[in-house]
Amino acid sequence: MPGPRLLAALCGALLCASGLLAFSGPCNPNPCYNDAECQVIKDEHRGDIFTQYICKCPHGYTGVHCEITCAMPLGMETGAISDSQISASSVYLGFMGLQRWAPELARLHRTGIVNAWTASNYDKNPWIQVNLVRKMWVTGVVTQGASRASNAEYLKTFKVAYSLNGRKFQFIQSAEGSGDKLFVGNTDNSGLKVNLFDFPLEVQYVRLVPITCHRGCTLRFELLGCELNGCAEPLGMKDNTIPDRQITASSIYRTWGLNAFSWYPFYARLDKQGKFNAWTAQTNDASEWLQVDLGTQRQVTGIITQGARDFGHIQYVAAYKVAYSNNSMNWTEYRDQGALDSKIFPGNLDNNSHKKNMFEMPFLARFVRVLPVAWHNRITLRVELLGC
Ligand SMILES: *[C@@H]1O[C@H](CO)[C@@H](O)[C@H](O)[C@H]1NC(C)=O
Ligand SMILES: *[C@@H]1O[C@H](CO)[C@@H](O)[C@H](O)[C@H]1NC(C)=O
Ligand SMILES: CC(=O)N[C@H]1CO[C@H](CO)[C@@H](O)[C@@H]1O
C-alpha cells in the first residue's frame, strides 16, 4: 500500500516531471495516511522545495503523513502525571474547610467523597493546568464532573489554553475564525465527554478554563496525546505480547517461603491485578535485576514503573538504573548524552501510580534490565517498556 504513496512522496522530493504520475499532482495518489486530507501547497507559499503538499491530520493523528496514532491517555488517571504537575487558580474548601477539592484530585474516574477539583466560589477566572514537563503532542481532553454534597457539579462549557513556557498562554481558536473555541462539557456528575482538537498541539502546558458551570466548577479529566517522536508505544508487557518466558529476574521472593505465594518475574506487567501481581526480588540488594527480552531488537524510548502491595504492605522501587544488551551477556548501563555516570531514574512513591521516564537517548536493543537502586519495603516492580 505505501507503494504509490512512496512514489508520490519521492516524486514530490525529486520534482518529477508532471505527467509521470497519472492525473499528476503531489496529492494524487494521496500520500497521507488515515484518510487525511492532502493539500497542495502553491509554489509561492512553499518555504522549501521538498514538500509540495501538507497532510491535514484527522482527529487523534499526527506526523507529517498523519501516520502516528496520537490519542493515548497522558496519565491523569494512572498517575503518570504527578500531583506536582497539576495546579489551579483556586481551591474550594468544603465542610468547614476540612474538605479540600484540590487540583491534584481532578483525575478521571477518581473515587471517594472528595474526588475532584472545584474552583473557589469567589474565583472569577478559574483554571486548572497540567505541566507535562516536556513538549508533547496533545490532541484532546476527556472531562467528567463529580458529586459534591450529593449534588451533581460539572463544567457545561470550557476553553482550552496552551503554552510552551507556562507564562504565555494561547486559547485554541474556533475553526470558523470566530475567536476562542468553546468546548461543550458535561451534562451530569459521572458521564465522560471526549473532545478531540482540530489540530494536535505541540506544547508543555495545557490549561482548562471553565466558562459555564453547573452549580460549581467541578472537574475530573484526562488529556489525550502522545510523545513527540511518536515512538512510544507499549512494547508488550501489559498486553502480554511479550511471553512469560521472556521475562526473567535475578531471584524470586516467596511470601512466607511458600511456592504458592511466589512473586514471579513474569508478574511484572504494568497494571497486573490479583493478590500476587508483581515481581519481587528475594533480597533487598542492589544486585537484583528484572530482565525483559523483547524478542527482537527494538527502539526503546521510555519505561513506566509501578509498585504493588503484599498483604497491605506498600512496596515499590524508588530509584533505578536501566541496562540494555543485544546478547544478554554484555550490558550497557543507560547514560544521558555526555553524562559520565549511569542515569538514576526516579521511580515510584506508592503502590499503584505509573511513573514514566523517557530516555533522552533512545537505544536499539533486544534485552532490557531494570536495576533497582532504592526501594520501599521490598524491591517490587510492574513495568512497561515504550518504543517502536
Ligand atoms: C544492537 O545491535 C544494533 C545493530 O544490529 C546496534 O545498532 C545497537 O547499538 C546494538 N545495541 C547494543 C546494546 O549493543
Ligand atoms: C563482550 O564484550 C567484550 C569486550 O567488549 C568482548 O570481548 C566479548 O566478545 C563480548 N561478548 C559477547 C558475547 O559479545
Ligand atoms: C495502602 C495504600 O496506600 N493503598 C493504596 C494502593 O493503591 C490503591 C489504588 O490506587 C489505593 O486505593 C490504595 O489506597
Q: Which atom of ligand 2 is nearest to the CA of 330?
A: 1
Nearest C-alpha to atom 7 of ligand 3 is from which residue?
A: 352
Is residue 30 within 6 Å of ligand 1 at its C-beta? no
Query: Which pTM does this prediction carry?
Result: 0.73
All residues at 6 or more sequence positions from 79 whose CB lies less than 8 Å from its CB, including other chains: 107, 350, 352, 353, 354, 355
Nearest C-alpha to atom 10 of ligand 3 is from which residue?
A: 352
- Report pLDDT for 44: 60
- Report pLDDT for 51: 67
The sign one gets for the Cα dihedral 187, 193, 198, 202 is: positive
Indicate the helix (H) or strand (E) that contains 8. Answer: helix 2-14
Indicate the helix (H) or strand (E) that contains 12. Answer: helix 2-14
- The preferred substitution site among 297, 331, 334 for testing ligand 1, maximizing ligand atoms within 8 Å of CB, is 297
Is residue 297 within 6 Å of ligand 1 at its C-beta? yes
Measured from the alpha carbon of residue 277, the closest ligand is 3
Series of mean pLDDT values for 10-residue runs along the chain (388 residues)? 45 43 74 90 59 82 84 93 96 88 97 96 96 94 94 97 96 92 97 93 97 97 90 92 97 92 96 95 96 96 95 94 97 95 96 93 96 97 96
- Report pLDDT for 133: 92
- Report pLDDT for 314: 95
The span from the first CA to the last CA of the chain, in angstroms, equals 20
- Is 233-387 in CATH node 2.60.120.260? yes
**What is 72-227's CATH topology?**
Jelly Rolls (2.60.120)
Nearest C-alpha to atom 1 of ligand 2 is from which residue?
A: 330
Measured from the alpha carbon of residue 299, the closest ligand is 1
Q: What is the DSSP string of 165-178?
A: SSSS-EEPBPTTSS
- Report pLDDT for 230: 75
CATH 2.60.120.260 residue ranges of the chain are 72-227, 233-387
Q: Which atom of ligand 3 is nearest to the CA of 309?
A: 6
Is residue 246 within 6 Å of ligand 3 at its C-beta? no
Q: What is the DSSP string of 219-242?
A: EEEEEEEE-TTS--EE-SSTTS-S
Q: Which atom of ligand 1 is nearest to the CA of 365?
A: 11
Indicate the helix (H) or strand (E) that contains 6. Answer: helix 2-14
Q: Which atom of ligand 1 is nearest to the CA of 297?
A: 1
The sign one gets for the Cα dihedral 370, 376, 382, 383 is: negative
- Report pLDDT for 7: 43
Q: CA of 237: how far to CAs of 123, 242, 278, in Å?
A: 44, 6, 12
- Report pLDDT for 16: 42
- Report pLDDT for 11: 43
